[in-house]
Amino acid sequence: MLLLIVSLFGLLASPSLALIGKCSQPASDTTSIYDFTLPNIFKTGSIDFADFRGKVVLVVNVATYCDHTPQFLGLNDLQKEFGADLQIIGVPTDQFHFEEPGANGTEIMNGLRYVRPGNGFVPAFPLSSKTEVNGLQEHKMFTYLKKYCEPTDELFYPGLTYQGNKVHDIRWNFEKILVDKTGKPVKRYNVYVLPASLRDDIRAEINKNGASHKLPILGSFLG
């Protein structure tokens, strides 16, 4: 209930929110997320996005000590509900009000387990190592994903820890970018769009081009 109230307050207090941005990549650009890798959270190997060919992918920039960190619970629900048809990837970043101070994978995972969300929480999907999603040192995958997606907010909020704001920048933790089964971004969601409200869009992408099964309609915008 508290998260619902906070989310509704944010919507009312932020009239500039577009909430959902469309993505449109020209056919002349053959780039896809399959061209990129990220170190895993413990830096013991890589998350190779080419391994997710044929799956719908949801890329979410995350942080442990953000007011929106309870969205991890909803992301886990999505991953478990859609199973092998969906791959969520969480990308920790410290570029918004220093809300991911964990110095390494162990600190980040312990923060999630014992502090927020806490209660022994473990992500049901892979996390990368800490990554810059905006600015001069932003990871090239985010440069690509943002390039063809409309921003979900007109404003930049206090607490940014990077230089060089651009209109397509990620605005805060827990933005979400939905990628289709060909590796191209299709929609971008503001932090205030909670994970449960992505179900219909995820299902639609899964069911394109002969998906293995159809899933029941569940949830609502703020579920």
Q: Where are the domains of the chain?
A: 2-206
Q: Kindly report the pTM of this predicted structure.
A: 0.87
Q: d(Cα 133, Cα 1) in Å, to the nearest integer?
A: 30
Region 48-60 average pLDDT: 98
Question: Quick one: DSSP state of residue 23?
Answer: B
Active site residues: 66
Residues 165, 158: contact at Cβ < 8 Å? no
- Reference 187, options 168, 202, 173, 207; nearest CA is 202
pLDDT at 46: 98
Is the pLDDT confidence value at 3 over 50?
no
In the chain, the amino acid numbered 52 is F
pLDDT at 17: 63
% the chain with pLDDT above 70: 86
> In the CATH scheme, what is the code of domain 2-206?
3.40.30.10
Q: Which residues contact 199 (CB under 8 A, 6 or more apart)?
A: 78, 81, 217, 218, 219
In the chain, the amino acid numbered 50 is A
pLDDT at 18: 76
pLDDT at 211: 43
